[in-house]
Structure 1
Amino acid sequence: MKRMGLLLVALALCAGSTVMAYNPYAPNPFAAIERHSWEYTYARDLTKAGLTGADMSKFSPAYELSRVELRDMIATALQNRARATTVQQKEIDKLAEEYADDLTYTDKANTVTKEEPAGIPFDWRQGTNDSNTKVSD
Protein backbone atom coordinates (compact mmCIF):
# COMPACT_ATOMS: atom_id res chain seq x y z
CA MET A 1 0.00 0.00 0.00
CA LYS A 2 2.88 2.34 0.76
CA ARG A 3 4.33 1.70 -2.69
CA MET A 4 1.07 2.66 -4.33
CA GLY A 5 0.94 5.86 -2.28
CA LEU A 6 4.51 6.76 -3.20
CA LEU A 7 3.80 6.02 -6.84
CA LEU A 8 0.75 8.30 -6.82
CA VAL A 9 2.70 11.11 -5.13
CA ALA A 10 5.55 10.79 -7.64
CA LEU A 11 3.10 10.78 -10.54
CA ALA A 12 1.34 13.87 -9.17
CA LEU A 13 4.66 15.70 -8.79
CA CYS A 14 5.70 14.86 -12.35
CA ALA A 15 2.37 15.95 -13.77
CA GLY A 16 2.35 19.13 -11.69
CA SER A 17 5.83 20.16 -12.77
CA THR A 18 5.01 19.90 -16.48
CA VAL A 19 1.86 21.95 -16.05
CA MET A 20 3.78 24.72 -14.30
CA ALA A 21 6.39 24.84 -17.10
CA TYR A 22 3.76 25.80 -19.68
CA ASN A 23 3.11 29.52 -20.04
CA PRO A 24 -0.21 30.05 -21.82
CA TYR A 25 0.37 33.81 -22.03
CA ALA A 26 3.67 33.63 -23.95
CA PRO A 27 3.19 34.64 -27.58
CA ASN A 28 3.64 31.86 -30.12
CA PRO A 29 6.22 33.05 -32.66
CA PHE A 30 4.59 31.00 -35.41
CA ALA A 31 1.01 32.05 -34.74
CA ALA A 32 -0.75 33.87 -37.55
CA ILE A 33 -1.42 37.58 -37.17
CA GLU A 34 -5.13 38.40 -37.32
CA ARG A 35 -6.05 40.15 -40.56
CA HIS A 36 -8.18 42.79 -38.86
CA SER A 37 -5.61 43.78 -36.24
CA TRP A 38 -3.82 47.12 -36.28
CA GLU A 39 -0.43 45.36 -36.56
CA TYR A 40 -1.49 43.64 -39.77
CA THR A 41 -2.87 46.90 -41.20
CA TYR A 42 0.30 48.85 -40.34
CA ALA A 43 2.53 46.15 -41.81
CA ARG A 44 0.47 46.05 -45.01
CA ASP A 45 0.64 49.83 -45.37
CA LEU A 46 4.40 49.88 -44.77
CA THR A 47 4.88 47.05 -47.26
CA LYS A 48 2.89 48.96 -49.89
CA ALA A 49 5.30 51.85 -49.33
CA GLY A 50 8.27 49.51 -49.81
CA LEU A 51 9.67 49.91 -46.30
CA THR A 52 9.51 46.31 -45.01
CA GLY A 53 11.49 44.52 -47.70
CA ALA A 54 8.63 42.05 -48.24
CA ASP A 55 6.36 41.70 -51.22
CA MET A 56 2.59 42.06 -51.13
CA SER A 57 2.07 38.30 -51.56
CA LYS A 58 2.50 38.02 -47.77
CA PHE A 59 -0.85 39.80 -47.45
CA SER A 60 -2.87 37.62 -49.81
CA PRO A 61 -5.96 35.92 -48.35
CA ALA A 62 -4.35 32.49 -48.82
CA TYR A 63 -1.24 33.38 -46.80
CA GLU A 64 -1.09 33.51 -43.01
CA LEU A 65 1.52 36.03 -41.85
CA SER A 66 3.35 34.74 -38.78
CA ARG A 67 4.67 36.73 -35.85
CA VAL A 68 8.28 35.91 -36.84
CA GLU A 69 7.73 37.24 -40.35
CA LEU A 70 6.16 40.40 -38.97
CA ARG A 71 9.13 40.83 -36.62
CA ASP A 72 11.55 40.68 -39.57
CA MET A 73 9.41 43.17 -41.50
CA ILE A 74 9.47 45.58 -38.55
CA ALA A 75 13.25 45.26 -38.27
CA THR A 76 13.64 46.13 -41.96
CA ALA A 77 11.20 49.02 -41.59
CA LEU A 78 13.30 50.34 -38.70
CA GLN A 79 16.32 50.34 -40.99
CA ASN A 80 14.32 52.24 -43.65
CA ARG A 81 12.76 54.65 -41.16
CA ALA A 82 14.55 57.67 -42.64
CA ARG A 83 12.72 57.15 -45.96
CA ALA A 84 9.29 57.02 -44.29
CA THR A 85 6.78 59.84 -43.93
CA THR A 86 5.87 61.16 -40.49
CA VAL A 87 2.74 58.99 -40.30
CA GLN A 88 4.70 55.92 -41.38
CA GLN A 89 7.40 56.66 -38.81
CA LYS A 90 4.75 56.71 -36.08
CA GLU A 91 3.44 53.37 -37.33
CA ILE A 92 6.96 51.91 -37.32
CA ASP A 93 7.56 53.22 -33.80
CA LYS A 94 4.30 51.76 -32.50
CA LEU A 95 5.07 48.38 -34.07
CA ALA A 96 8.62 48.45 -32.69
CA GLU A 97 7.29 49.26 -29.23
CA GLU A 98 4.76 46.43 -29.37
CA TYR A 99 7.32 43.90 -30.67
CA ALA A 100 10.32 45.11 -28.66
CA ASP A 101 10.85 41.73 -27.01
CA ASP A 102 10.69 39.92 -30.34
CA LEU A 103 13.11 42.36 -31.99
CA THR A 104 15.87 41.34 -29.61
CA TYR A 105 16.00 37.99 -31.44
CA THR A 106 16.85 39.39 -34.88
CA ASP A 107 20.17 40.64 -36.21
CA LYS A 108 18.50 43.33 -38.32
CA ALA A 109 17.25 45.25 -35.28
CA ASN A 110 20.75 45.49 -33.84
CA THR A 111 21.88 47.65 -36.76
CA VAL A 112 19.31 50.29 -35.87
CA THR A 113 21.06 51.33 -32.67
CA LYS A 114 23.53 54.19 -32.69
CA GLU A 115 27.08 53.20 -33.35
CA GLU A 116 29.44 53.89 -30.53
CA PRO A 117 33.17 54.41 -31.00
CA ALA A 118 35.09 51.17 -31.06
CA GLY A 119 37.72 52.42 -28.61
CA ILE A 120 41.45 51.98 -28.75
CA PRO A 121 42.63 48.72 -30.30
CA PHE A 122 44.72 46.46 -28.10
CA ASP A 123 48.41 46.40 -29.01
CA TRP A 124 49.99 43.17 -27.86
CA ARG A 125 53.48 44.61 -28.42
CA GLN A 126 53.11 47.50 -26.00
CA GLY A 127 56.41 48.85 -24.78
CA THR A 128 58.47 47.49 -27.66
CA ASN A 129 60.01 49.34 -30.55
CA ASP A 130 60.93 46.20 -32.45
CA SER A 131 59.18 42.86 -32.67
CA ASN A 132 62.50 41.05 -31.84
CA THR A 133 63.05 42.74 -28.49
CA LYS A 134 61.53 41.64 -25.21
CA VAL A 135 59.21 43.76 -23.16
CA SER A 136 61.00 44.99 -20.05
CA ASP A 137 59.34 44.61 -16.68
Structure 2
Amino acid sequence: MATHSNRPTSPHLQIYKLPLTGLISISHRITGVFLSLGLLIFVYITSALAGGPDDFKAMQDFLDNGLLQLVYFGFVYALFFHLCHGVRHLIWDAGETFALETLNRYAMIELAASLLLTLFTLIFV
Protein backbone atom coordinates (compact mmCIF):
# COMPACT_ATOMS: atom_id res chain seq x y z
CA MET A 1 0.00 0.00 0.00
CA ALA A 2 1.89 2.97 -1.29
CA THR A 3 0.81 6.33 -0.06
CA HIS A 4 1.49 9.44 -2.07
CA SER A 5 2.21 12.59 -0.16
CA ASN A 6 2.58 16.14 -1.30
CA ARG A 7 5.93 16.51 0.42
CA PRO A 8 8.69 17.90 -1.75
CA THR A 9 11.50 15.60 -2.76
CA SER A 10 15.01 16.49 -1.72
CA PRO A 11 17.28 18.04 -4.34
CA HIS A 12 19.16 15.54 -6.43
CA LEU A 13 22.83 15.88 -7.41
CA GLN A 14 21.76 17.00 -10.87
CA ILE A 15 19.97 19.97 -9.32
CA TYR A 16 22.03 20.69 -6.22
CA LYS A 17 25.45 22.28 -6.75
CA LEU A 18 28.03 21.41 -4.11
CA PRO A 19 29.71 24.47 -2.61
CA LEU A 20 33.46 24.86 -2.98
CA THR A 21 34.01 23.92 0.65
CA GLY A 22 32.08 20.68 0.09
CA LEU A 23 34.18 19.80 -2.94
CA ILE A 24 37.36 20.53 -1.00
CA SER A 25 36.18 18.39 1.90
CA ILE A 26 35.58 15.46 -0.45
CA SER A 27 38.95 16.09 -2.11
CA HIS A 28 40.63 16.06 1.30
CA ARG A 29 39.32 12.55 1.92
CA ILE A 30 40.36 11.37 -1.55
CA THR A 31 43.88 12.78 -1.15
CA GLY A 32 44.13 10.96 2.18
CA VAL A 33 43.50 7.69 0.34
CA PHE A 34 46.09 8.63 -2.32
CA LEU A 35 48.63 9.39 0.40
CA SER A 36 48.04 5.97 1.93
CA LEU A 37 48.59 4.32 -1.44
CA GLY A 38 51.65 6.48 -2.06
CA LEU A 39 53.17 5.20 1.16
CA LEU A 40 53.31 1.77 -0.46
CA ILE A 41 55.60 3.21 -3.14
CA PHE A 42 57.65 4.87 -0.40
CA VAL A 43 58.04 1.51 1.35
CA TYR A 44 59.11 -0.04 -1.97
CA ILE A 45 61.74 2.69 -2.44
CA THR A 46 63.01 2.27 1.11
CA SER A 47 63.27 -1.48 0.77
CA ALA A 48 65.12 -1.08 -2.54
CA LEU A 49 67.60 1.25 -0.84
CA ALA A 50 68.21 -1.36 1.83
CA GLY A 51 68.39 -4.19 -0.73
CA GLY A 52 71.60 -3.11 -2.37
CA PRO A 53 72.72 -1.78 -5.75
CA ASP A 54 70.80 -4.29 -7.88
CA ASP A 55 67.50 -3.65 -6.13
CA PHE A 56 68.14 0.10 -6.26
CA LYS A 57 68.80 -0.03 -10.02
CA ALA A 58 65.63 -2.08 -10.59
CA MET A 59 63.64 0.43 -8.53
CA GLN A 60 65.06 3.35 -10.52
CA ASP A 61 64.18 1.65 -13.81
CA PHE A 62 60.65 0.97 -12.56
CA LEU A 63 60.08 4.53 -11.33
CA ASP A 64 61.50 6.07 -14.52
CA ASN A 65 58.16 5.39 -16.22
CA GLY A 66 56.28 8.53 -17.40
CA LEU A 67 53.03 7.37 -15.83
CA LEU A 68 54.73 6.95 -12.47
CA GLN A 69 56.11 10.48 -12.80
CA LEU A 70 52.50 11.64 -12.98
CA VAL A 71 51.71 9.55 -9.91
CA TYR A 72 54.67 11.21 -8.19
CA PHE A 73 53.29 14.67 -9.03
CA GLY A 74 49.88 13.59 -7.72
CA PHE A 75 51.41 12.28 -4.51
CA VAL A 76 53.30 15.52 -3.87
CA TYR A 77 50.17 17.57 -4.61
CA ALA A 78 48.05 15.35 -2.36
CA LEU A 79 50.60 15.80 0.42
CA PHE A 80 50.53 19.59 0.22
CA PHE A 81 46.75 19.76 -0.30
CA HIS A 82 46.26 17.58 2.76
CA LEU A 83 48.68 19.78 4.72
CA CYS A 84 46.97 23.04 3.69
CA HIS A 85 43.55 21.65 4.51
CA GLY A 86 44.85 20.51 7.89
CA VAL A 87 46.05 24.05 8.60
CA ARG A 88 42.62 25.30 7.58
CA HIS A 89 41.04 22.91 10.07
CA LEU A 90 43.34 24.25 12.79
CA ILE A 91 42.07 27.75 11.98
CA TRP A 92 38.50 26.44 12.19
CA ASP A 93 39.29 24.82 15.53
CA ALA A 94 40.21 28.29 16.78
CA GLY A 95 36.68 29.37 15.82
CA GLU A 96 37.70 31.59 12.91
CA THR A 97 36.61 32.04 9.28
CA PHE A 98 33.10 30.61 9.39
CA ALA A 99 31.49 33.43 7.41
CA LEU A 100 30.52 32.36 3.89
CA GLU A 101 32.76 34.85 2.08
CA THR A 102 35.80 33.88 4.17
CA LEU A 103 35.08 30.16 3.71
CA ASN A 104 35.31 30.50 -0.06
CA ARG A 105 38.30 32.87 0.09
CA TYR A 106 40.24 30.51 2.36
CA ALA A 107 39.31 27.59 0.09
CA MET A 108 40.85 29.41 -2.87
CA ILE A 109 43.93 30.30 -0.80
CA GLU A 110 44.22 26.63 0.19
CA LEU A 111 44.08 25.49 -3.44
CA ALA A 112 46.60 28.10 -4.57
CA ALA A 113 48.99 27.40 -1.69
CA SER A 114 48.94 23.65 -2.28
CA LEU A 115 49.60 24.12 -6.00
CA LEU A 116 52.43 26.62 -5.39
CA LEU A 117 54.05 24.38 -2.77
CA THR A 118 53.85 21.46 -5.19
CA LEU A 119 55.41 23.44 -8.03
CA PHE A 120 58.20 24.79 -5.81
CA THR A 121 58.94 21.29 -4.57
CA LEU A 122 59.04 19.78 -8.03
CA ILE A 123 61.24 22.60 -9.35
CA PHE A 124 63.77 22.60 -6.52
CA VAL A 125 63.90 18.93 -5.57
Determine if the TM-score, normalized by the shorter chain, exceeds 0.5: no
Structure number with greater Rg is 1
Structure ranking higher in helix proportion? 2
TM-score category of the 2 structures, normalised to the smaller one: under 0.3
TM value normalised by structure 2:
0.23
TM value normalised by structure 1:
0.21
| Larger RCO of the pair (alpha carbons < 8 Å, separation 6+) | 2
